[in-house]
Each structure stands twice: as C-alpha cells, then as structure tokens.
Amino acid sequence: VRMLGDGSGEWTKKLGLSLDLTARNMGVRSQRYSMLVENGVVKKLNIEAPGKYEVSGAETMLAQI
C-alpha cells in the first residue's frame, strides 16, 4: 500500500477530480476518492458523492485488493 499526496493539485486536475470551493473561501480541493493502481494501470476508482464517506475508505480498498 502506498499513499501519495498531490500538494499542487495537478494530478487531481488531470483526473477531473478537482472541486472548486472558492465560493466558500476554501479554494480548489480534491474530491474524496481512492484508487487501486497495478503496474501503472488504474484498476479501481472509488469516487465519493459530495459530503459522503462510503466508498473511499480502507475497508473498500482492502476488499478490492
């Protein structure tokens, strides 16, 4: 398991998963998601609905491995 950060948000933008919260004075952020990547290929992408935490957690990822 490798957890990676995206401090500049470039990866998130390229994935189309950025979330613009500037109207709430929170800037541009990443949507909540988890991803299973094997040998550079995305096998699973779990994107949360706004305000939810149901599919991106460790339990889901462990079940998908």
Query: Residue 37 CB: number of other CB atoms within 10 A?
Result: 12
Is 1 part of a structural domain of the chain?
Answer: no
Query: Which of 25, 27, 29 is closest to 9 using CA atoms?
Result: 29
Residue 1 confidence (pLDDT): 78
Q: What is the pLDDT along the chain (65 residues), one digit of tens a residue?
A: 788 889 899 999 999 999 999 999 999 999 999 999 999 999 999 999 988 999 999 999 999 99
Number of domains in the chain: 1
Residue 57 confidence (pLDDT): 94
Residue 4 confidence (pLDDT): 86
Residue 3 confidence (pLDDT): 84
Is 5 part of a structural domain of the chain?
Answer: no
Query: For the whole prediction, is pTM greater than 0.95?
Result: no
DSSP 31: P
Is 48 part of a structural domain of the chain?
Answer: yes
Determine the distance from the C-alpha atom of residue 56 to the mean position of all C-alpha atoms in its chain, rounded to a whole number. Answer: 8
Task: Check if the beta carbon of residue 48 is closer than 8 Å to that of residue 31.
Answer: yes
Domain that holds residue 25: 10-64
* Angle CA 29–34–38, to nearest 5: 130
Is 3 part of a structural domain of the chain?
Answer: no
Is 60 part of a structural domain of the chain?
Answer: yes
Is 21 part of a structural domain of the chain?
Answer: yes
